[in-house]
Amino acid sequence: MATEFILNTLEFGDAAGWGTWLVGHFRQHLRYNAVLAGRTPTVQIATFNILQMGASAIEKRFWLDAHQSWHALLRPFANVTGIDLASVDIDDRNQFYGWIDLHNQEHRVLDQAFGVG
C-alpha cells in the first residue's frame, strides 16, 4: 500500500508545508488503523483529531497530546517503544527538528510493522 506521507520534508516555519504534512500524516495514521481493523480478530483503536493544529499554545498542546495518545495505542501492535511525542516546544526550532527526526524514525518502524511504507 503506497503512502502519501513523506518523511523529512518539513521546514520550520513553513505554514504551507506544515499543512501538507499534517494531512499526509493524519492519513498515514488512518492507514495504521485500517491495517489493525483488517486483522482477525479485528483491532479497533481510537482516531484522534490530528488533521490540523491551531496557532495558539492551547491548540498546539491539544494536538501534541492527541498525537501522543494515538502513538501510544499503536506502539504495542507494532512492538515498538518511543519517546513522549507531546514533550516538545514545537515553536523552538531546535526542539522542532529533534522532534521531527525522532517522530520520523518511529513512523519508519510503524510503516514497516503495518506494511504501509
Please write the tens of the pLDDT for every residue from 94-113. 999 999 999 999 999 999 99
Grade residue 8 by pLDDT with cuts at 50, 70 and 90: low
Which residue, among 61, 63, 62, 83, has the nearest Cα to 72 in the 3D structure?
83
pLDDT of residue 117: 75
Crossing angle of helices 93-114 and 15-37, rounded to 10°? 30
Rounded to 5°, angle at Cα 80 from 75 and 81: 85
Residue 2 pLDDT: 46
Average pLDDT over all residues of the chain: 92
Residue with cell 500524516: 25
> Grid coordinates 510493522 are at which residue?
113
Q: What angle do CA 71, 10, 18 make, to 5 degrees?
A: 75
Q: What is the pLDDT of residues 24-78, one digit of tens each?
A: 999 999 999 999 999 999 999 999 999 999 999 999 999 999 999 999 999 999 9
